[in-house]
Structure 1
């Protein structure tokens, strides 16, 4: 028995969910496609709500913005959505979960926001949030005074006795910027998601080893990592959770060394690229910023997160440019 549905030649019969345009196509305000709503260029993505049928015949695809386009697969193809080439960091469309244990004990050499809180509580903070020997000794005295095991390390029990909350013990570690771009949006939307997250920290203090909520400050690579998460990029094993661990303040070096970022010539820099800097007089990476265009970057640099010229009197030795989205 022949199907009662009269299929248009080469048309989708079920909802493809996401399509990519094979050529420039028109969008319409109506399923009959008589009222033009604009044009979509080749190699763009669209989210499809459902296949529209009339009198048993497939007539159009309806987008999530209640616009309509041809269902003919000669013009649009089913797609998983925007994605980088396989050799580079893949774009995620589920909340990223960085590597590492949430609720870690803070010890000598640790940095980050927990250390910042502890040092202020112990009276040892002098502008640099690194768990030093003075902090270690102060914590041991505090633990003895409160009948705790005097390890000099801050575990959950010591943290609570200092007056901090159990929620903060884990929430500081576990914050991950929410995804702000979808599979049916293209490269520019992912770049803007990354930059938008970075701007949420604008004016916050520079805090070494920090990469958490916009309630707090960050360091340079900590800012970049949260921005990457918002765009759907997980630079594992580089992790916001591990960022406070000794040595991880130099995650700028690990990002620079990653083969999953494409390095491009300085003259080809584009909005959304990462700008890496050498320490003056050396070939050692010591800083990373996000390029905004027009020779401006957003960065975390003492004393705060700010927008600055790509070169200035504090750091101008550019090692190179790395592209995140392709």
Structure 2
């Protein structure tokens, strides 16, 4: 008698969980409407057909899948169809509805819509400003000597230019002066407003977010180091300017640290602001992983002066004079590592 009861119990469990790796059967605990995005609670099997007879790959616990449709046979749910036209169990014991991949609440949250520019688009350029607009202005005025900071010589040259062209003489470059210099209205706002396109989706996991970030950084490879710059890959950047655009591509908005403000006086060292942010988790050097940020001290001090993106294999991608490049994590120019900060968890 006891044997029959035990056998009946086991058969009941089998009916709920099915056989094999996360096959499952449709029942009251199955999804009946499209959950949108699911996260695997256990290792499950992908199938090539809705009847789930032709096996495809395994999906490990903790992964995300985009669901296109709930497949039914009569009134019975038989499977969930993914956006890649493969099929998984609809059983809630194996998959859970979720909003998608996300960091813990105390850290920078992952965005799934294009990040908007933070700051004034079309700002007037003044003494002390850096960045791409300053770089253009200094080259036009003949005052660029390799360092794009709006200095007194540039200020004086702009005043003379404004006087010659019957503009209001301020020494600052507003839109009217910019246009008279021969630059376009599109560039006046476009340089400021560029935010790297979001290259990853909510239903993709940590690895995809890291790769989106690194892919954006590689788009700047070979471009010149330009202080205070963080705009389109057609231009150069500095170290934190490169990191900010890479973060945008991975869905991270570190505002009030921003690409626009990076050109403003006092924002040259956004590597320090990122290091000080409590929304990045600091981890031990020995625990570094691909996609982490590597921060460096200025030699002989405890002042942060550089940040790079760790690629693995003791290599980083960084903007360091004279250009954006891949380098060893330590070299003769900067080797005093302050620590490691993790972006994606």
> TM-score range, shorter-chain basis?
over 0.9
Aligned with 1:20 (options 22, 39, 54): 39
The runs of 5 or more residues in structure 1 that have no matched partner are: 1-6
1:239 corresponds in structure 2 to: 258
1:228 corresponds in structure 2 to: 247
Query: Do the aligned partners of 1:219 and 1:249 also contact (CA within 8 Å) in 2?
Result: no
CA distance in 2 between counterparts of 1:187 and 1:133 reads 47
Offset at 1:8?
A: 2.1
- 1:103 to 2:122 alignment: yes
Offset at 1:115?
A: 0.3
- 1:299 to 2:318 alignment: yes
1:3 corresponds in structure 2 to: none
Runs of 4+ in 1 over 4 A off after TM superposition: none
Query: Do the aligned partners of 1:98 and 1:234 also contact (CA within 8 Å) in 2?
Result: no
1:127 corresponds in structure 2 to: 146
- What is the TM-score when the length of structure 1 is the normalising length? 0.97
CA distance in 2 between counterparts of 1:28 and 1:297 reads 39
The runs of 5 or more residues in structure 2 that have no matched partner are: 1-25
1:30 corresponds in structure 2 to: 49
Offset at 1:9?
A: 2.5
RMSD (Å), alpha carbons: 0.6
The alignment covers a number of residue pairs equal to 320
CA distance in 1 between counterparts of 2:144 and 2:176 reads 21
1:263 corresponds in structure 2 to: 282
1:254 corresponds in structure 2 to: 273
SS at match of 2:305: strand
CA distance in 2 between counterparts of 1:75 and 1:208 reads 50
1:67 corresponds in structure 2 to: 86
Query: Do the aligned partners of 2:117 and 2:194 also contact (CA within 8 Å) in 1?
Result: no
SS at match of 1:300: strand
2:342 corresponds in structure 1 to: 323
CA distance in 2 between counterparts of 1:106 and 1:233 reads 27
- What is the TM-score when the length of structure 2 is the normalising length? 0.92
CA distance in 1 between counterparts of 2:118 and 2:88 reads 42
SS at match of 2:126: coil
2:204 corresponds in structure 1 to: 185
Offset at 1:286?
A: 0.2
Question: Radius of gyration: which is bigger?
Answer: 2
